[in-house]
Structure 1
Amino acid sequence: MKAARLYGKQDLRLEEVPMPEVKPGEVLIKVKAVGICGSDLSRYTKLGPKFPEKGPLVWGHEFSGEVAEVGEGVTSYKAGDHVTACPALPCFECEYCKKGEYARCMTLEVIGAVRDGAFAEYIALPERNLVPLPKSVSFEQAALIEPTCVCFHGLYKLNMQPGDDVAVMGCGPIGLLAIQSAKVFGAKRIIAIDIMEEKLEWAKACGATDVVLSKIDDYDSARNGVLDVTNGRGVDVVIESGGTPVTSAQVLGLGCKGAKVLYLGIPYGDITIPREYFEKIGRSELTIYGAWNAIQQGFPGKPWTSVVAFLEKGMLDFSPIITHRYPLDEIEEVFKANYERKTLFGKILFFPEGVEK
């Protein structure tokens, strides 16, 4: 079968590889749609494989597909079922896993890092990682369930309330999904912040009620924009989804007294926080939340069943977020173009069976 394996920084190769072995308790899935995660781009551009000593592995972890074969002992699925899958691989044995806190697993890993992932025609995974899909939900939409679950996991942690005002810093795919998630959770006002006007247009299409064009050369522009929109109050919930050292500091200045700040982005660099912003934690009595992955009790947990239900009811729609669709055959060129910043991307999806013209 065809699959894309990561050999090193800027070294992703589409190759012919053996079909996955279906072990007892596992399910073979024919991949229908698979997306690029922001973490994929960071590994491609800066970091390379997490465990290079394991050799090149099939990459990718945001996907949907159809059950092709079930292994011995599998009882919940049959050939032809539509599924997505949680890519997380907790140990289920450490102190955190035993409490159902799987996102805190001592040895938590994901597919594509320690076992083959989904940039391929087929993938095999344990039965417990699969999530069933109603056939009314398209494979294209279902490929974005995993990153949306990341947002839901964070919002469940901070116990967001209907009527809250929310600011989302950074309008890449995770930020756009956070906007849709906040809307489903009942946000009254959603303020989207980014340095690119094009991304703010995407944010409005996803449900942002207000937008703030931040400026690279004006550190306080995000805060001032939010204060203007909220008449000097600030917001109840702040979501950092930009994943940069600057935005990771700026978000501390956007909340009202007692606001909740949720970090979803991953800044691959050291963060310097101006004193005025850092003091907001104490002086405004902020509560800071970190959210990692998308797994909770009842593995993979409530975010997964919730996102599937909202998709089925039409309360989530990822169409404005998906900007590019390619056959899997073009994956090398697409990653290279993204690295060279030749195109402005939202969410990129690959289709192993090809893209309908």
Structure 2
Amino acid sequence: MEVVEMERPHPGRNEVLVRMKACGICGTDQHIYHGHPGSAEVLPPMILGHECSGLVVEVGEGVRNLKAGDRVAIDPNIYCGECEYCRRGDPHLCENLEAIGVTRNGGMAEFAAVPAANCYPLPDEISDEEGALIEPLGCVLHGLKKINLFPGMSVLIVGGGFIGQLFLQLLKRWGASPAVVSEPVVEKHPLLRSLGADRVVAPGDLPGDELFDVVIECVGRKESMEEAFRRAKKGGQILLFGVSDPNLEISVSPYQIFSKELKISGSFINPYTHQEAISLVKQGAVRTAPLISHRFALEEVPTVMARYPTLKVAKGIINISP
């Protein structure tokens, strides 16, 4: 990656030009940086950044519901509306999926032209940084809808990073009890407790016979996914949310799935959950600002992306325009 001067883009029909204010660095950005696909195949050169918020500064022809001066959070995913999956109501599985920061230039820049339909007005109660984090919260909301959760169900969250912290807040709001988080970085444990975790443990410290109604895997590693299967009760539900290497394979006993009647779900992106996510943050039902561990300037991004694993970033935000 490098920082370069580019010509300011112009909004096309049904697009707006957004002066970016804040952009989150996602684990998927790291996957793309190391040559893996994001939500779709990436063809460099590409400006990354799909967790972003900003200020509308220009509107293209045909835009009716936005004007210059509007603050917006941006849903990066653009669906074709014509393929089999879009027409059956599963647009996130779109065969022709495009995404801001993946297949077209995204939020790690001062300006980006984006479809007006992908912009959600931000209320004054939500900061630019919180607005950038609406996208990952929307992804977590989509994952939560894959689970049949009832008050009193026991839940294990494998991985207490940013995504695990969002899941924890929503699960406690839905009545999960107990909510246990497995997280190896002890510095994260106090924050997890403050967000409502009934217990926070290091991997390997759970009693061998402790099982859960719901297990949510937020890491994407072989050992953590296999642990998720070991920790599910009979009739348990497993949500595989963490993004793994595309070539990773895990060892799972089909007999265990059969004999326990396990329900296993994946969760991909965030179809139309932005408005719900904005409402939750506005109400204070989900807190995102305390989860930000690092803030960077745009000029720092190439160095930050190269050193990301060594920086121990829980959640990084790029502050772009003054």
Q: TM > 0.5 between the two?
A: yes
Cα distance, 1:284 vs structure 2: 1.4
- Does 2:142 match 1:140? no
- Aligned counterpart in structure 1 of residue 239 of structure 2, from 257, 262, 268: 262
Structure 1: unaligned runs, 5 residues or longer:
1-11, 215-220, 296-300
Of residues 287, 295, 302, the one that matches 1:317 is: 287
8 Å contact from structure 2 (residues 229, 252) kept in 1: no
What's the secondary structure of 1:31's corresponding residue? strand
State the 1:211 CA deviation.
1.1
* Contact preservation (8 Å) 1:248, 1:267: no
Percent identity over the alignment?
A: 34
Instruction: State yes or no: 1:224 paired with 2:207.
Output: yes
1:68 Cα deviation after fit: 1.1
Gaps of 5+ in 2: none
Partner of 1:329: 299
4+ residue segments displaced more than 4 Å: 48-52
- Aligned counterparts of 1:244 and 1:222: Cα–Cα separation in 2: 18
| Alpha-carbon RMSD | 2.0
> Matches of 1:171 and 1:109 in 2, distance apart?
30
The answer to whether the Cα contact below 8 Å between 2:80 and 2:96 also exists between their aligned partners in 1 is yes
Cα separation, 2, equivalents of 1:311 and 1:113: 26
Q: Distance in 1 between matches of 2:264 and 2:11?
A: 42
* 1:223 Cα offset (Å): 5.7
Report if the CA contact (8 A) 1:28-1:124 is conserved: yes
* Inter-CA distance 100–51: structure 2 relative to 1 (3 Å threshold): closer
SS of the equivalent of 2:270 reads coil
2:216 corresponds to: 239
1:1-357 to structure 2, matched below 5 A, reads 12-47=1-36, 54-214=43-203, 221=204, 224=207, 227=209, 232=210, 234-268=211-245, 269-273=247-251, 275=253, 278-295=254-271, 301=272, 303-339=273-309, 341=310, 343-354=311-322
Letter aligned with residue 270 of structure 1: L
Shift of 1:244: 0.7
SS in 2 for 1:103: helix
Report the CA distance between 1:200 and its aligned residue: 2.9
Q: Partner amino acid for 1:272?
A: I
CA 48–18 in structure 1, closer or farther in 2 if over 3 Å, else same: farther
**Higher relative contact order at CA 8 Å, sep ≥6: structure 1 or structure 2?**
2
State the shift of 1:66 in Å: 1.4
* TM-score normalised by length of structure 2: 0.93
* Aligned counterparts of 2:78 and 2:129: Cα–Cα separation in 1: 24
TM-score, normalisation: structure 1: 0.84
Change (3 A) 1:210 1:223: closer
Find the aligned partners of 1:258 and 1:48 in 2 and give their Cα distance.
34
- Residue by residue over 1:144-200, the C-alpha shift from the partner in whole angstroms, topping out at 9 and shown as x without a partner, is 111111110011122323332211111222222221222233323211112221233
**For the residues of structure 1 that align with 2:9 and 2:162, how far apart are their CA atoms?**
30
**Number of matched pairs:** 320
Q: Using the alignment, how far apart are the partners of 1:264 and 1:184 within structure 2?
A: 19
Letter in 2 for 1:329: E
Aligned mates of 1:170, 1:30 — CA distance in 2: 34
SS of residue in 2 equivalent to 1:141: helix
- Provide Cα deviations, 1:80-128, integer angstroms capped at 9, x if missing partner: 1111011112211101101221111112232222211110111111111
